[in-house]
Structure 1
Amino acid sequence: METTPSESSSTPSTTVPKKKQGLGWVEWLRGWMYIIYEMLFQRIMASHLQNPLSLPPINNLTCIVTGSTSGIGLQIARQLAESGAHVVMAVRNTKAAHDLIHKWQSEWTGLGLPLNIEVMELDLLSLESVSRFAEVWNARMGPLHVLINNAGIFSIRGYWQFPSITGPQKFSKDGYEEHMQVNHLAPALLSILLLPSLIRGSPSRIINVNSVMHYVGFVDTEDMNVISGKRKYTSLVGYTGSKLAQVMFSSVLHKRLPAESGISVLCVSPGVVQTNVARDLPKIVQAGYHLIPYFIFNAQEAICKGFELLKTSNIQQFRHMVPESEALWKSSQIHFYAELVRLAKPSSLFGTLNRELGSRSALFSATDPQIPEYCELLKSDDWPVCAFISQDCRPTNPSEEAHNIDTAYEVWEKTLEMIGLPSDAIEKLIEGEEVRCRYGDHQE
């Protein structure tokens, strides 16, 4: 029997929307424009902040800081300890951490009391190590007030086609792409497994040190390891995707945790700072990476100084009024450009950018009393993403892709599957039930 045109037209047609394969060029361009803007003007935007950031007394806080033997993690751990907190340095290199503590104790002059710091081993390239760390900590049955997931990596794999610096895409022993594991999967597992201690420390906070680079990131939940061939793998793809995945996962965790738990979840951007995140880059590339912020900030200083020079000279206002002032104007211009060259001279590029600048957003988020109220406000307003604090210690909006709620929940489900936790792990842990992790023993 043939189908008449009227019958065929009445049959509903179902079209499956095409899955997004990457950022559109407008999103990509907008993301890079934001990153460049951040790089150029971050010091101006944060000029209202003290350096180092002044912290309130926090003698009653227990804080875990991952990756705290270098970069901003080192500064975060030291400043929290000097403000009175009990700090746990969760690190891979325990000897380096103990050496730092010895140095800090010898330099500390506050109130005659030693700094309250301890070291625990944690290797984010091993989910078994993460599970073991959480098991040992939870066994203490003590409170945890602040978890700062600071550790991260940015390895150079397949970025330039030169044999001397190009290497294969690397995976952890758990089988996951190294950026995705260290920057997202391991911190996600640690955050969830430590929920019992965070509940005991309520009101408490989970702070994920993210990156402005997530603005150009994309996550394909069907290809978290970037091995399908649909996208060419580069270090930038791995790094930006892992940072976006962290924002998305944090946003869902923020929503899944009930207000009664008293746990705030937020991401922070440290800005463009020299850190050890690029420790796996070739030496020549590391040198260029570390010089970027110096050039930007010294150029900013030179320009500001130059315009201040012209402003105070009062020559501009007389230039067109008094003929003789033209010679003075030209002389001032020469002086102006000479000052620019002096301030931005090559030797100034090789100074050290103070890591205190990059630590302020995390320290602010860990200690500011209004953070819990702000996080709950976002939750009550049904805002699609978690709190995101910029390097100037002000709330900012994550990337457009981070607002993709459907993808965020896909990232949530895929992440739980990859880190070996059941889909109802959050609810069980909040109720005090046991949860089995594929990479460790029972967690209570």
Structure 2
Amino acid sequence: MESRARLGGLWEVVKEIFCQKLLTYYLPCSSVLPNHLSGLSVIVTGATSGIGLHTARELANAGAHVIMACRNTKAASDIARQWTVEAHYRKVPNVEVMELDLLSLASVRRFAEVWEQRAVPLHILINNAGVLLMGEPQQFSVDGLEQHMQVNHVAPALLTLLLLPSLLKAPSSRIVNVNSVVHHCAVMEPKNWRGKVKEHNFSSMKAYAASKLAHLMFLKILANSLLEQKRASIQCIAVHPGIVTTKLVPSFQKKSFWMFDPAEGARSVLFCASSDQVADDLDNGFAYYSCNCKPGRVSPHVANMDSCLDVWKKTLEILQLDDNYLSQMIANTNEKLNKNV
């Protein structure tokens, strides 16, 4: 059974890698966004390059208030100024830059605290930033976590949890996590999130895949928990954008015929952030999309709710959050909202 699952996962990866151009032949080269985004607040992490940059720009051009959450604030500010210059006679995009370093959980908490002080709704959170240290030895963050697991899962999970009060203030909101089809090839070993792995046993690709699987499993529990708390207004969506030329992997910066450029990679992310159709595909508040803007298959691990719950609990433990964090946060948010009515 396990070997069949592994073969199925490998097929999903091979299919996506070599057939993604064929699977998306009918999609336009760039996204055409609906006009209902005007006035919506959107946070995009890792918005200075690649998929994140194109996602932020298209949302800003569609009228959304876009917050570029980045470690390199200077680069982000330069990009935002360039967008303003390029606007010419069109409406100047509403873009701002906020510092966020996913390699520091303290930075994540500072970001969330600054945002929450505004006491305004957040309509869309796009957890796009990620890391793949291809071929490099195991590395740890200042928080003592393996870097792939921190940047791709633990830090975005913390950001999401801390921003839930703002997401709950909106009549309808979305969490969009940029994932990867390689999650199909991952196994879940929480002991490796902090522990040193023997050098000959460590693989950066395996660590990357495990981090993407963990974040998918975490999102599944979050969606189910929000539904149980009667908070279906928050939609939880994960998306594989395809294999894209990106700075994430130096060897992928030169485009091959079967790869997407960042604008093509951003299509599925923008679809998940803006399309009304997504709501119809939700299963208990959760959906996983492929690069063709259609629901995709997830690893069998994601269907195992007990395993997903283990990932959820391990994540909360690392973040030093109580098991009842979600219900307590919702109760506190409801109390504040009722006072303002």
Q: Structures share a fold, TM > 0.5?
A: yes
Separation in 1, partners of 2:123, 2:70: 19
Q: 1:163-197: per-residue Cα shift (whole Å, max 9, x none)?
A: xxxx5411000000000000000000000000010
Separation in 2, partners of 1:88, 1:178: 24
Choose which of 233, 237, 246 in structure 2 pairs with 1:275: 246
Separation in 1, partners of 2:83, 2:269: 20
Distance 1:88 1:242, change over 3 A: same
Q: 1:227-274: per-residue Cα shift (whole Å, max 9, x none)?
A: 365992110121000000011000000100034351001100000111
SS in 2 for 1:431: helix
Instruction: Please list, as runs of the form range in 1=range in 2, the aligned pairs for 1:168-179 lying within 5 A after superposition.
Output: 168-179=137-148
Deviation, structure 1 residue 39: 1.4
Q: Does 1:139 align with 2:117?
A: yes
Preserved contact between residue 235 and residue 279 of structure 2 (Cα < 8 Å): yes
SS in 1 for 2:191: coil
Preserved contact between residue 148 and residue 206 of structure 1 (Cα < 8 Å): yes
Deviation, structure 1 residue 226: 5.2
Q: Does 1:260 align with 2:231?
A: yes
- Comparing 266-275 and 394-403, the one that deviates more: 394-403
Deviation, structure 1 residue 397: 1.6
Distance 1:84 1:25, change over 3 A: same
Aligned to 2:82: 103
Choose which of 256, 264, 267 in structure 2 pairs with 1:294: 256
- Comparing 26-35 and 58-67, the one that deviates more: 26-35
Separation in 1, partners of 2:109, 2:129: 16
Aligned to 1:363: 270
Preserved contact between residue 261 and residue 430 of structure 1 (Cα < 8 Å): no
Distance 1:153 1:110, change over 3 A: farther
Preserved contact between residue 137 and residue 204 of structure 2 (Cα < 8 Å): no
Separation in 2, partners of 1:110, 1:216: 49
Q: 1:335-364: per-residue Cα shift (whole Å, max 9, x none)?
A: xxxxxxxxxxxxxxxxxx531110011100
Deviation, structure 1 residue 218: 1.1
SS in 1 for 2:231: helix
- Comparing 260-269 and 27-36, the one that deviates more: 27-36
Q: 1:284-333: per-residue Cα shift (whole Å, max 9, x none)?
A: xx23x344x51436xxxxxxxxxxxxxxxxxxxxxxxxxxxxxxxxxxxx
User: TM-score, normalization: structure 2?
Assistant: 0.92
Deviation, structure 1 residue 41: 1.3
Separation in 2, partners of 1:395, 1:153: 24
Separation in 1, partners of 2:244, 2:200: 29
Deviation, structure 1 residue 373: 4.1
Aligned to 2:11: 33
Q: 1:15-70: per-residue Cα shift (whole Å, max 9, x none)?
A: xxxxxxxx944333322221111112111211222221100111021100000000
Preserved contact between residue 180 and residue 225 of structure 1 (Cα < 8 Å): no
Choose which of 62, 73, 76 in structure 2 pairs with 1:94: 73
Separation in 1, partners of 2:30, 2:195: 40
Letter matched to residue 122 of structure 1? L
Q: 1:399-422: per-residue Cα shift (whole Å, max 9, x none)?
A: 122222211100000001112211
Distance 1:138 1:373, change over 3 A: farther
Aligned to 1:51: 29
User: TM-score, normalization: structure 1?
Assistant: 0.71
Preserved contact between residue 199 and residue 261 of structure 1 (Cα < 8 Å): no
Q: Does 1:193 align with 2:100?
A: no
Aligned to 2:299: 399
Letter matched to residue 357 of structure 1? E
Separation in 2, partners of 1:177, 1:221: 11
Aligned to 2:178: 209
Choose which of 62, 65, 68 in structure 2 pairs with 1:83: 62
Letter matched to residue 363 of structure 1? L
Aligned to 2:281: 374
Separation in 2, partners of 1:361, 1:265: 15
Choose which of 42, 67, 72 in structure 1 pairs with 2:46: 67
- Structure of larger gyration radius: 1
Separation in 2, partners of 1:187, 1:268: 15
Preserved contact between residue 247 and residue 253 of structure 2 (Cα < 8 Å): no
Distance 1:43 1:226, change over 3 A: farther
Separation in 1, partners of 2:320, 2:58: 35
SS in 1 for 2:236: strand
Separation in 2, partners of 1:74, 1:125: 20
Number of equivalent positions? 331
Preserved contact between residue 138 and residue 197 of structure 2 (Cα < 8 Å): no
Query: Which residues of structure 1 form unaligned runs of 5+?
Result: 1-22, 160-166, 279-285, 298-352, 381-385, 435-444
Preserved contact between residue 270 and residue 360 of structure 1 (Cα < 8 Å): yes
Letter matched to residue 260 of structure 1? R
Preserved contact between residue 202 and residue 261 of structure 1 (Cα < 8 Å): no
SS in 2 for 1:370: helix
Letter matched to residue 97 of structure 1? A
Distance 1:412 1:230, change over 3 A: farther
Query: Which residues of structure 2 form unaligned runs of 5+?
Result: 335-341
Letter matched to residue 173 of structure 1? V
Preserved contact between residue 65 and residue 148 of structure 1 (Cα < 8 Å): yes
Letter matched to residue 46 of structure 2? G
Consecutive aligned runs of 4 or more in structure 1 exceeding 4 Å deviation = 228-231
Preserved contact between residue 144 and residue 198 of structure 1 (Cα < 8 Å): yes
RMSD (CA atoms):
2.0
Distance 1:373 1:27, change over 3 A: closer
